Structure 1
Amino acid sequence: MSLEEQEPLLSRSVSPTDSNKTLLSGDESNTTVGEGTTRSIEDDVLPETPTVGRTITWPSAYILVISRVIGSGIFATPGVIVKGVGSVGLSLLLWVIGAIIAACGLAVGLEYGCMLPRSGGEKVYLEFTYRKPRFLASTMVATQAVLLGFTASNCIVFAQYTLYAFDIEATDFLRKSLAVGLLTAITIVHGCFRTTGIRIQNFLGWIKVALVVFMIFAGLFAVAFRSQGEDGGKSHFPTRSDLWKDTDWSWGIISSSLFKVFYSFAGLNNVNNVLNEVRNPVRTLKSVSITALVTACIVYLLINVAYFTVVPLEEVKNSGELIAALFFERCFGPRVGKTFLPLAVALSGAGNVMARLNQEVARQGFLPFSKLLASSRPFNAPLGGLIVHYIPSLLVIALPPSSEVYSFILEVEGYPGQVFALATSAGLLWLRYKRPDLKRPFKAWSVAVILRVILSLALLAAPFFPPKDGQKKGGIWYATYAFVGISVIIFGLLYWYVWIRLIPGWKGYRLEEETSILDDGTTVSTLVHVTT
């Protein structure tokens, strides 16, 4: 390590060559990095402002997080989870455990985000932590972002609830057509009309939060004050003796259910992905993320209790992804409850955030046509990154049978995610030992980080503990999602080896990064061949 690198990175004096950079000072970081910016890994500890400026305020950042967190998960997964684990007691316990694990993961993301205040999230953190083998961390994140960075699950829920609301038979063709239509519309709006997209997203985000609060009070009202249908307002929440009845304690089943819970908490680190655009990024990141976590924990637990109170357990188990629709119908009858409120659920799914990570991946040269994909032209919006996001989402909607794809998507997304969770958590502990000079405005509890490491290892091993029947719904082998996830990781490793090691060694060159600035002011890195 050079003498300069041995100095505390965020306490150095600014040299003449760094005259266009402003270092982070406390929580006040409305700072910019001008034309002197490089894409050096060490510069990740410096704040950076994109060409569009710091336009995300605290309320927008909160909606950015909470509208990603409260997505289709709470409206679709509780019925699937309780069917898998067998009992209401274990189902509720998994939501509590999932919240604890999410809090541990959030703490890791907060320490990284405050220490490395750049857009890109996990990509920036893994690059900074794991520098050897060279380009491996970047390649693995790029592979994950392209192959598994889809939002198909929200599109599928939108289609199912829309068809249910209009009492239209949910054929495979109609579900896929509606889902693809929504995906296309969202991509066009966010990629071509950036300001309009943010406004629509904020509006739908508040609707989503209001809908969840409304559902909690609706469940309480339906049981306490209304007498409707043959149940006469009776509570269906299991008694103490029935709370754990038919519980399946298989670790494989529990782990696959936990992946569905994790999906409902996914997005707590969403601000990390766009930190360049956030005003006062460090202060905003800490307060917004923690506030969103508390909000999600409270509403998720209350919503689950409302579901089990209003809808009979057998109907919950057979509801698939339509548990919220059954809840509304029982509370408000076949007209309002079956039409208007399921449409609100469909709109809330449509309001989920499109990821910007792919633009950051392209920005550093790890995708084909990187300059084109990284540019904010012609609409001053991340259209290129959204197109990369669009393609795998389209494929995962169109190819598998839509009746089975939702749960499978959540598990396939969740399994490789544990590999990255393990890498970031273990890497954070390593950085504390190796780089004590780094400024850490937020420091996670070591117990939380170690717990996250242990749980990641346990969840990675879980699919190889077979359930009683060795099968899942639809006859899919219980460990299929794990092998698909492992295949994605292996593909990333092979891609890196062929691209970085095999072909350059065969043709006699090495890859180096060359920094350039596009016409719109975006700084990108191009990987160029250097003859050895």
Structure 2
Amino acid sequence: MGRALRIIFSTPTTIFELAGSPGLCLVLWSIAGVISYCGALVMLEFGTSMPISGVCTGFAALGGHLRVPKPDNLSAAVSFKGTSISGYNIGTALLDCIFSYQGYDNLNAVCRQKLLSETKPLLIIVKVLSEVKNPERTLRIALPSAMGLVTVLYILANIAYFAGVSREDFLGSNITIAATLFRNVYGESAAVKALPALVALSAIGHLLSVAFAVSRLIQELAKDGTTPFPDLLMQNRPFKTPILALSVHLCVTIIFICAPPAGSAFDFVVDLGTYPTVFLLSIITIGLIKLRLSKTDDFYSSFKVPWAALVFYLAANIVCFPELISS
């Protein structure tokens, strides 16, 4: 949810620029939600097999309470006007939508490095589930529920944007489309001035959740002996916190912030995070199919992903690869 709140302030502008029309934009958000839900089910099967660590403004806009002329983005006559026919634009927009839904893979995947190196081609370890009571039951309830809720909220948020922001303002809003929506709904009031604080709190919440999970990922890798200086990185003294693992994560984060050019930093990080992640999750799905079909691998999970969802998730990611490579 922290990732959802952070992403929805900014990414819709990029998706709309690539899609070209409100209608296609909403279609892509819906498709990405289905793809990500199927991906969450894949992660759920691995997580239950190895449960150890590793919008008020929208309702106002929809109700017509605007301080600017009401946009006509959602009418049947214009909702698909300007739709892009570029395969690259549509594929990139879909990848960005999928990136916005990601977070289910943060629940899993401590030992991704074992994908190609072990006799068992894939061992996924849940990053933080060793600190959760009854992790198997918790995963089976929380993961599908969260993905369904995030999908609904994303679509409603985008509908609110299109109901409260004109096409011209949408394309000219640069990164934070939420600021334009707040201004159109509330005018130049204290609510608009408070938006940066809300965005900052959302970003902090996301950063804290990622730091919590990734530090334990690094700690589990150290326990497995796959990192430099494993004896140091696996330690959590004196506060039962993986301080050194957190330090590694901090260093990488600083590099990501400082290395890209300031003007295109956000898009760079989005693309850099999306492409390899989509590729890696596809390999994970192939690994699950192999484990399902193999009679020699000792793999058992109390939850089984439907074959239709498994194949659809893999196919959806593969379809994006040609445009990814051409970019």
Same fold (TM over 0.5): yes
Q: Which residue of 2 aligns with 1:117?
A: 51
What is the CA deviation profile of residues 280-302 of structure 1, one whole-angstrom value per residue up to 9, with x for unaligned ones? 01000110001101110111110
Answering whether residue 80 of structure 2 is matched by residue 244 of structure 1, we say yes
Q: TM-score, normalised by structure 1?
A: 0.54
- What is aligned with 2:116? none
How much has 1:364 moved relative to structure 2?
1.9
SS of structure 1 residue aligned to 2:8? helix
Asked if the contact 2:58–2:156 (Cα under 8 Å) also holds between the matched residues in 1, the reply is yes
Gaps in structure 2 of 5+ consecutive residues: 108-125
Could you tell me which residue of structure 1 aligns to residue 61 of structure 2?
Answer: 219
- What is the deviation of 1:335? 2.5
Which of 454, 458, 479 is the aligned partner of 2:319? 458
Mapping for residues 101-116 of structure 1, pairs under 5 Å: 101-116=35-50
Specify every segment of 5 or more residues in structure 1 that has no aligned partner in the other structure, as ranges.
1-65, 121-212, 466-478, 480-532
* Residue 292 (structure 1) aligns with: 146
RMSD of equivalent CA atoms:
1.8
- 8 Å contact 1:269–1:289 — kept in the other structure? no
Aligned to 1:412: 272
Give 1:183-332 correspondences, 5 Å limit: 213-221=55-63, 223=64, 226=65, 228-229=67-68, 231=69, 234-271=70-107, 272-332=126-186
Are the equivalent residues in 2 in contact too, given 1:117–1:282 (CA < 8 A)? yes
In structure 2, relative to structure 1, the CA distance for the partners of 1:84 and 1:377 (3 Å cut) is same
Conserved in 2, the CA contact under 8 Å of 1:109 and 1:269?
yes
Secondary structure in 2 matching 1:351: helix
Work out whether residues 237 and 305 of structure 1, in 8 Å CA contact, stay in contact via their aligned partners in 2. no
After TM superposition, give the deviation of residue 227 of structure 1 in Å.
Answer: 5.3
Q: Quick one: distance in 1 between partners of 2:35 and 2:76?
A: 26
Rounded Cα–Cα distance in structure 1 between residues aligned with 2:88 and 2:219? 35
Shift of 1:388: 1.7
Secondary structure, in 3 states, of the residue corresponding to 1:273?
A: coil
Alpha-carbon distance between aligned partners in 1 of 2:167 and 2:218, rounded to the nearest angstrom: 41
Instruction: Summarize the Cα distance change of 1:444–1:318 in structure 2 as closer, same or farther, 3 Å threshold.
Output: same
Choose 359-368 or 73-82, whichever is displaced more: 359-368
**1:158-200 CA-partner distances (Å, limit 9, x unpaired):** xxxxxxxxxxxxxxxxxxxxxxxxxxxxxxxxxxxxxxxxxxx
Cα deviations by residue, 1:435-454 (Å, 9 ceiling, x for unpaired): 47643211001111111221
Q: Distance in 1 between matches of 2:259 and 2:43?
A: 34
Q: Quote the residue 1:441 is aligned against.
A: 302
The residue type equivalent to 2:274 in the other structure is G
Structure 1 CA distance for aligned equivalents of residues 155 and 136 of structure 2: 29
- Report the Cα distance in structure 1 between the residues aligned to 2:91 and 2:218, rounded to whole angstroms: 28
Matched positions, count: 302
Q: Which residue of 1 aligns with 2:204?
A: 350
Q: Structure 2 vs 1, CA of residues 416 and 227 (structure 1 numbering), >3 Å: closer, same or farther?
A: closer
How many angstroms does 1:365 deviate by? 2.1
Q: Which amino acid in 1 is paired with 2:268?
A: F
- CA contact 1:88–1:238 (8 Å) conserved in 2: yes
Contact preservation (8 Å) 1:325, 1:338:
yes
Distance 1:263 1:254 in 2: 14
Going from structure 1 to structure 2, the CA distance change for 1:256 and 1:395 (only over 3 Å counts) comes to same
Question: Which deviations, in whole Å up to 9, do the C-alpha atoms of 1:209-251 show, x marking residues without a partner?
Answer: xxxx323323224x1xx3524x2xx243242222122221222
Q: Which runs of 4+ in 1 moved over 4 A?
A: none
